[in-house]
Amino acid sequence: MAHKSTIFLSTTSVLLIVYVSLFSVLQHSGKLRDSSLKTHETRYFDSIEEESEPVKKEPSFQARNNVLEVVNYEQTVPHNRVKRNSAEEKEDELKELPIIHVITPTYKRMNQIPEMTRVANTLKNVKSIHWIVVEEGNQTLPEVKQLLIKSGIDFTYLSAKPYKNLTTSLKGIHQRNKAIFWLRKNVDLSKDGVVYFADDDNTYDLELFEEMRYTKKVSVWPVGFVSRRKYQTPILKNGKVIKFNAWNTENRKFPIDMAGFALNTKMFYYNPQLYFWKTFRVGYQETMFLEICCLLSDLEPKGNGCTKVHVWHTKARDPIIEHSSYNDTEQASTNHKYEMKKEKVSSIGKARKKST
């Protein structure tokens, strides 16, 4: 019995010595601190005390899963909360802008391509625009179509035959009507947009299109070089149109040039009869057209209170070609013969006047 107690005491003392030694080692290495005392500062100094940098460990499965959940959440974030690049923002901006539908009648002639090129170079700098070009005749022309494609403008290219059995010559109404009827079939006219009649022989300032873009009913502005005038313009009083400085104001309710107004697309939606009638009088197309859909009080003056001109009639004369070249077209030779005959008649008339 005494032998067993001696073995027990010796074993206990050995364990006690090992425990004391282990405790001193842990205390010396600083690993046995009270966790309640490990504040931010102690954690910082603990990292400083370590001679080597901590080994980077692979994230656990749970950590990786958390990361995947974050990624999936970001992919399902609503559209307006996702950070988007400038191209996407510009695209949405264009979608929000009211579209301007520019209707341009044209016909084959020597200077058709140069004049259409001038208009195209203007329109290609206008945002959210749709160019409807209507060729006079049975079919469209490949050279005009190529010009439209090259311009990069959103376009529709149509053709229209002149009306038969008309007692008067109403220039361009068959082409403008073709574009209006196309819009009625292919565009939702109940939404805000703009319709503008832009002939191919005019010159346009870019500011004109930005001013007309938010037309509520009918917007108006001055037009340069019309009816042997430097310009014709609406006259305002207290910001409202009361009369016009134009040709034949006595007999026309709206003495406005075709290039001097634009309409909201809703005007066509609410007025099914809004188009150019065959019974319109020559020289009265604009006023008879506008009388269908609006009153004088509906007009919205643009152009800085109708004090600035942003569109001009600058029709170019057909060139006189004296020497043919290898790529002359039949139209060029026809125009040349016409101009020569015209000059001959003019010279004969002058000679007769001198003789008298």
- Residues labelled as active-site residues: 286
Q: End-to-end CA distance of the chain: give it in Å, rounded.
A: 168
| Burial group, residue 172, by CB count within 10 angstroms (0-12, 13-18, 19+) | buried
Alpha carbon 187 to chain centroid distance? 16
**How would you label 112-143 residue by residue, b for 16+ Cβ within 10 Å and e otherwise?**
bbebbebbbebbeebebbbbbbbbbeeeebee
Q: Is 44 exposed, middle or buried (0-12, 13-18, 19+ CB in 10 A)?
A: exposed
Which residue is listed with tokens 């309409």?
263
Q: How far is C-alpha 232 from the geometric centre of its chain's CA atoms? A: 29
* Spatial separation of the C-alpha atoms in residues 207 and 115, rounded to whole Å: 20
CA distance 299 to 263: 10
- DSSP-assigned beta bridge partners for residue 219: 262, 300
149 burial via Cβ count (<10 Å: 0-12, 13-18, 19+): exposed
Distance, in Å, from the CA atom of 290 to the CA atom of 310, rounded to the nearest integer, reads 21
Cα–Cα distances (Å) from 33 to 36, 46, 197, in that order, read 9, 11, 87
Helix extents (H) in the chain: 2-29, 40-49, 61-75, 86-96, 112-123, 142-151, 173-186, 206-212, 266-270, 285-290, 303-306, 330-355
- Closest by CA to 183, choosing from 203, 201, 197, 169, is 197
**CA-CA distance, 125 to 147, in Å (whole number)?**
16
Distance CA 31, CA 115 (A): 89
